[in-house]
Structure 1
Amino acid sequence: MIGNGTAVEINARKGIFFEVFLVFLKLGLTSFGGPVAHLGYFRSEIVEKRKWLSESNYADIVALCQFLPGPASSQVGIAIGMSRGEWRGALAAWTAFTLPSARALYLFAQAMAAASGGSSGGWLHGLKVAAVAVVALAILGMARTLTPDRIRASVAAMAMVAAFVLPSAWGQIGGIVLGALFGMTFLKGDMPSAAAALPLAISRRVGAVLLFTFFALLLGLPLIAAMLKSRDLALFDTFYRVGALVFGGGHVVLPLLKAEVVPHFVSENDFLTGYGAAEAVPGPLFTFAAYIGSAVGGWKAAVVCTVAIFLSSFLIVLSALPFWNDLRNHPSARAALNGANAAVVGLLLAAFYDPVWSAGITNRTDFALRIAASLLLFCWKTPPWLVVMLCGVAGQVFM
């Protein structure tokens, strides 16, 4: 009887694993439009259609993941998978949601390598022009939400200056730290929403171990990579650090990732080409790491970069769950987050000027195509992936 019971439990867990995997594979294949759109797809599939979570539980998970560094939509998926199928469910949700876009970008990088190194062709320049319009749309949307007043707009400006003065990863990190400190001093934290118990059984002890692991890797990987002189370890360190330090996810990864990988691993031209391609695929934008890894060292490096940039998301979101109810009610923590989020807008503005605008807009034809792309995005509400593809075609025809 015990053996039969154990077999039933194992089969049930396998069933939940594949259930979660198939649901998030569908989302990974169809979720175009960036993190905000992803959250809408998740809500429709998980809350409305399948009733895996209540509306309040889902809202609380979204609030937690927006509070933390890393890709918000992927972290929400990890938390949903954890609530449905514990650790196996979390792994199933992340794998299925990430795999389609990571695979597509890996294949794109391989195709570029086979076609004259991936740095020529009018359609590739069209992708860079599309990136100008898409990033502009993202900045505008984030600015409306994250810099609604003079104080936060000033924080964004200071972060932009910091990024220009220190054009490296330290400038990006310094801007976020400056924003958080400014927020704690001059801003008020938002009022927390009504309390809702999260359906995630993770003890504080496990959470503390995961949090320790998060910081141990963040601080220890650079030292180990420097001692061992391994390219794969250097890549793992770089992408783990980027995933651990980016607030806001999505497009916000652009400035920090550019500072870390250009020109150490890829050229600026290849970087922007891959970024344009990343806009044309569904799923999380952080799978841009698969493109860079593929360009550096084939499929092994692509796996290393993809796992590294998302590993910090696993550790930080699952470590925060047991402490979220306390943290969400702390005014200073929420004020610091408001300041850090405002700084993110400034960092995106800096990246928008260099390298997005400076590499994408080089003549009158580029400018005209950029205006057309912006018209499609802003006025006609055309999906970003379709705008990217149209810009690629236009670039091939006119450039």
Structure 2
Amino acid sequence: MTGPDVPLAPEHVVAVDVGGSGARLVAAPVHGAGDPAGAPITLTGRPVRITASGSDAADVVAELMDALAVRQPGLRVAAAAVSVTGLPSLVPDPGAVHGVLRAAGASATAVAADALAAHLGALGGRPGAVAAVGTGAIVLATDLRRRWHRADGWGHLLGDLGSGSWIGAHGLRAAVATHDGRPGPASPTLLAAALERFGPVEGWPAALYGRPDRAHVLASFTPAVADAARAGDLVATAILHDAGTHLAESLAAALRPGIPPLAAVTGGVLQIGDPVTTPLRARLSALRPDVRVVPADGTPLDGALRLARSLVDPRDGGLVEPHDTWLTVRATGATGATPRTSPATAGKENRA
């Protein structure tokens, strides 16, 4: 019920980050929180699933928006932005994600690749390159206007070098090699950890190959690789060293002429610390000594929230240009935002 004595709930901006390890949502008042009742609302959801028909990211977003409506009945959504893993290649219809947000009442919506959200979160809207390293790994170097260069992000079967799924897969390969007794360095530590987690080796193919969340399952073994390295396991240490090296090479590949030599790295794999970051910095310094590496300002969810706020704040309306690969924006005059949709030809020059 609404009326002259029943004030409307404050408008919120909503940001969602949908990834291979889970999903997160934050809803924040448009004009900030002046009291505990106006504090941001946070929710978590399941990982995205990849099937023969592509990503089910739209379903994940719908589940979280439904949960938000239950958590906060009557909440008004001024604008919403979603960061989606696999957007350039695995999301069959970004319009379906826009549709979910519109159905929740958002007048202005943005759907961005997780690499772009990570970029906006880590560099705070500055041009440069960001490596987003979670279940997968992708580097996006951009001036946020016309120059867009990508390295990796091709999924756990073709790339994602240095990612959680890559580290976990290499840890399991090392465990299988140790089980088989093949020549070369062995890792009884990794084999024991894998047996404890996945059971007998003979069952691993059936347990892994048919799963739609295979990348997530592989990445779930990454903490065991990190623990083994901390305990002095040479095989695990080499895997993490190679992961950092791969990430540096992807950063160097993406930082092409016209992009400022500024870089940041963000994502859960960075929590491993020195075994990954030390070789990353050493290799990047060797390849591109001019590049300045800075700490990440925030997460992909922070980047999505920044993007959502830009849809309702005219002062921030030029945060990033829409792009047919990395960002689509749909807006009406309801929130004061200018209608902005990404044309089919936008940004095709300089696309990676």
**TM-score, normalization by structure 1:** 0.26
Q: Which structure has more helix as a fraction of its residues?
A: 1
**TM-score, normalization by structure 2:** 0.29
Q: Which structure has more strand as a fraction of its residues?
A: 2
Structure number with greater CO (CA < 8 Å, separation at least 6) is 1
